[in-house]
Structure 1
């Protein structure tokens, strides 16, 4: 299971920023957190990064000590920390002096630095400046050590094009003592602050290539590959990982699998309302994992900045994971830590019967009506979830499940009044959003069941003056197929979704299967239950099986 611990309330700071986390050779966790304010000119000297230690896997933490202190000229913000195979702990951070209003990198400062500890975080070397390009660098959340021992540090840098960033890398063959500068500069276009490519992450694939993901404004992570250990890189291309303007993190686990942590939210540029984990054996097909956090704040607008974001990952000696992240917006953030059981990470089968209430469910974006637990009217454990529209617009609620590319979802439900909806997505679905999904089942009047798949459509939006452009792929429902039998009235029935090789099959109440083309996707992982036009639907149980 995943257990969440909130760090930051013990200091009572308005801002406690989660930073990098690593496990020392003796199993202790080292975690850098920053506060008590968000760094900005005039108060850089208030910013400090504290090194906290835990001897029990993150359940309790010591009082910590200041490792990086701000000055009048800059704040020192930790970015990535990695325990090398020798036991050395390598830490990178930036000296951030702000950026000029005209976004001129020559007048801005965000330079990368590095230091290391050879005694498990007790003492640290003097900082040394990284030989990265430019004065304003966009640091990564992670770096990696290859099987050869080489360390690869990817980073972004601001260009002179109104805040646009590009990506490059450094490599070290002596554990960070010296660095080589990659000749590659990865450009995905863009114009404006936080446009282009930035906050990259890298991991070594089983075939020896190094895979890089890049944060972009194109509605997905872009990717690049290196065939020479991270020194030179291929031209970046869109990847299969859907994402807004937010970083993803890749981590090589001890058993060789690849972990992906990211925000699969695309409807607006800074949508970071869900934080997801998934694993892969080869970096191409992902499975398992689940959502580790979502926006539980009582919001109705889906384009707000409040979110769960910036994951930092460390693996414990027993194989469990710790994931640190932030919750909040740019002016108020609190650090969280999730401990993830290694078995939970690889699971592919779960049952939702609401015995834990609505813990896993999110109602962000629902405009009206209600979604509440009710008596299940049977003698089995748990409850039932009823969604009913009051007439003011679609009402709904959503939840994540382990990433599914091959397998089955079985839903036991009742439809009381049309219109009711089931929605399946490969990105975060907003509650009550009924017109767009990868798959939709609509319970219409006259007992009709209408099944449809979304059709890919590019959507461009203007974000703000300094970030003028964002685009993503939406999947509005177009053509619908009428199921050959009506939905049962006044009783429960099972609806089964079967996924296999890009195809989806829908079966209702043991009737015939209706096949739909799902198309290329990383996998389905989000379920929505919704009602419109005074409709009402109840879900008693959901089961996901491989």
Structure 2
């Protein structure tokens, strides 16, 4: 038996670059906005620990530290930056160094307090265009999921859009204002549209602009399918929270006042090829208002990423010089510039999803359950493996034959139709989570696993043997770990499961099923990719947790699928030698 825990270099798994508007071009650097212009005409931005300055349009950069005590502070990727008319630079961000939450996340659970979720909001000032910085100032402790809008009013008042977790277990927008260039802050209204109880629910991720009449206009992300709006005269007291006519998926917008007087709006509208989507972030739209937000122009798609799991979202807009827009995103790695005068010359074609292709003979088939199957915006390991193999010159195709909720009983029944009839060269099998589950949520509660351990191994043995008879190579994989979430505890948090143990959702049965698979792989001398065993070290390497690598306690997120792909490519290359 061979266990594969070696990882390939990251270059083999390079992300697919976004498609740009025909008149746009890529920026020459990787730094993310927001950006501001300095007194000498340079560009300034910040990252996790440093301030970065460029005097040559981003071709080269110098950096200086943000903090005298860097161990105490880490700036979040979601951040805001402002250079006031007086020349004071203010940054606003969440401090990742103080992030704290209950083990296992447990958002919304009855025996957990919302006050246990900590991700503080900070601001920090510089009076010399980012060369040196004052000690950061904490505004609040509660969990803040995003900050990306900070403006100066004509009166001189600074207005910051923040957000916080609230007792109703969602996010609400919190407004802040400063009348002394960020030295001190007043807390304003909290805006809650009253819907949702999960960790991405609420009226949140707001962006604010001052209109010519001196009023402030705020746009907020919601789950309604539309952006919501509110208005204010002073930045502290807000009125008129209501739905706009601007269709939007669940992601943040950003507004900016341009040199020509118009207001620009960047956001993720539902993609043109999937107009009913409420979550797809594959297209980034740009629109303009020349009547102070009363109406908006027809959106222009400035960037898109149509690969599985592709995103161009959490945008930052910076007008480097009149009419020249620099657009960067936190998600999707967009780094582009475009002139507003060129936006009408051409467009990104409407995406036409390709027809579902049958697997090519002699390729690789990923055979599994919902941890294998395509999953929304997550870039699953089948897609990542195909990209990585192409990047190293392989012509092997990859087909995803994962079906949610499958056990080995169902997999064995569909092996011939979904896998073997396509004459694959390599078959990767990953099952076990559904087999080992005891459905205690049923009435009456189940007391045994969906598939017994002996039947699980018999089914695996039969599938391996049948696949090998056809001449294909087999690679088996242990499952990813499981962790409790509030939803999983609600369904499974009762005996025989141990709801108090961190691994209590898997220790009852899944651990035994994975160990039995390891023994079977050794007996049959088939390669084993030990995904479960690789998780702790991979999480530590990426300075995260196993919980954070799972989207819902059960299914891998992007980082989890990255791990599986890196392990699999090594195993596949060895199998086909």
Q: Could you tell me which residue of structure 1 aligns to residue 26 of structure 2?
A: 4
Q: Could you tell me which residue of structure 2 aligns to residue 367 of structure 1?
A: 355
Cα pair 1:221 1:240 within 8 Å, conserved: yes
Cα pair 2:88 2:127 within 8 Å, conserved: yes
Which of 234, 253, 256 aligns to 1:248? It is 253
- d(CA) in 2 for partners of 1:315 and 1:171? 24
* CA 1:177–1:19: 2 relative to 1, 3 Å: same
SS at match of 1:190: coil
Q: Could you tell me which residue of structure 2 aligns to residue 87 of structure 1?
A: 87
- d(CA) in 1 for partners of 2:84 and 2:91? 11
Q: Could you tell me which residue of structure 2 aligns to residue 41 of structure 1?
A: none
Alignment of 1:212-231 (within 5 A): 212-226=218-232, 228-231=233-236
Alignment of 1:179-258 (within 5 A): 179-226=185-232, 228-258=233-263
Alignment of 1:103-114 (within 5 A): 103=107, 104-114=113-123
Asked which structure has the greater CA Rg, the reply is: 2
Which of 112, 117, 137 aligns to 1:128? It is 137
Alignment root-mean-square deviation, CA: 2.9
> How much does 1:32 deviate?
2.6
Which of 136, 140, 145 aligns to 1:138? It is 145
Cα pair 2:283 2:303 within 8 Å, conserved: yes
* CA 1:250–1:211: 2 relative to 1, 3 Å: same
> How much does 1:259 deviate?
1.0
Matched, 1:102 2:106: yes
- CA offset digits 1:102-133 (Å, max 9, x no partner): 22432121111111112111111111112x4x
Which of 345, 350, 354 aligns to 1:350? It is 345
Alignment of 1:170-185 (within 5 A): 170-185=176-191
- CA offset digits 1:170-204 (Å, max 9, x no partner): 11111111211114433342111110111111101
Q: Could you tell me which residue of structure 2 aligns to residue 271 of structure 1?
A: 280
Cα pair 1:296 1:362 within 8 Å, conserved: no
Alignment of 1:311-330 (within 5 A): 311-328=315-332
- d(CA) in 2 for partners of 1:49 and 1:72? 9
Q: Could you tell me which residue of structure 1 aligns to residue 387 of structure 2?
A: none
Q: Could you tell me which residue of structure 1 aligns to residue 175 of structure 2?
A: 169
Q: Could you tell me which residue of structure 1 aligns to residue 476 of structure 2?
A: none
Which of 309, 313, 317 aligns to 1:309? It is 313
- CA offset digits 1:141-182 (Å, max 9, x no partner): 1211111111111111111233x1111201111111121111
- d(CA) in 2 for partners of 1:234 and 1:241? 19
Alignment of 1:369-448 (within 5 A): none
* CA 1:73–1:117: 2 relative to 1, 3 Å: closer
> How much does 1:235 deviate?
4.0
Matched, 1:23 2:42: no
Cα pair 2:288 2:296 within 8 Å, conserved: yes
Q: Could you tell me which residue of structure 2 aligns to residue 336 of structure 1?
A: 334
Q: Could you tell me which residue of structure 1 aligns to residue 479 of structure 2?
A: none
> How much does 1:98 deviate?
4.2
Cα pair 1:27 1:316 within 8 Å, conserved: no
> How much does 1:218 deviate?
0.8
Q: TM-score, normalised by structure 2?
A: 0.52
- CA offset digits 1:463-521 (Å, max 9, x no partner): xx8799xxxxxxxxxxxxxxxxxxxxxxxxxxxxxxxxxxxxxxxxxxxxxxxxxxxxx
- d(CA) in 1 for partners of 2:179 and 2:318? 22
Matched, 1:154 2:149: no
SS at match of 2:156: coil
- CA offset digits 1:308-358 (Å, max 9, x no partner): 111112222444222221344xxxxxx3322222423xx5x4357xxxxxx
- d(CA) in 2 for partners of 1:338 and 1:256? 22
Q: TM-score, normalised by structure 1?
A: 0.54
- CA offset digits 1:4-27 (Å, max 9, x no partner): 22644xxxxxxx8x3422121222
> How much does 1:29 deviate?
1.2
* CA 1:291–1:99: 2 relative to 1, 3 Å: farther
* CA 1:326–1:129: 2 relative to 1, 3 Å: closer
- d(CA) in 2 for partners of 1:144 and 1:71? 27
- d(CA) in 2 for partners of 1:292 and 1:51? 28
- d(CA) in 1 for partners of 2:94 and 2:346? 44
Q: Could you tell me which residue of structure 2 aligns to residue 294 of structure 1?
A: 304
* CA 1:69–1:161: 2 relative to 1, 3 Å: farther
Alignment of 1:59-74 (within 5 A): 60-62=59-61, 64-67=63-66
> How much does 1:50 deviate?
3.9
Cα pair 1:186 1:235 within 8 Å, conserved: no
Greater percentage in helix: 2
SS at match of 2:115: helix
Q: Which residues of structure 2 form unaligned runs of 5+?
A: 1-22, 108-112, 358-484, 489-577
- CA offset digits 1:72-124 (Å, max 9, x no partner): 88743151001111121111111131433122432121111111112111111
Q: Could you tell me which residue of structure 2 aligns to residue 431 of structure 1?
A: none
Q: Could you tell me which residue of structure 2 aligns to residue 378 of structure 1?
A: none
> How much does 1:364 deviate?
6.0
* CA 1:195–1:466: 2 relative to 1, 3 Å: farther
Q: Could you tell me which residue of structure 1 aligns to residue 46 of structure 2?
A: 32
Cα pair 2:148 2:161 within 8 Å, conserved: no
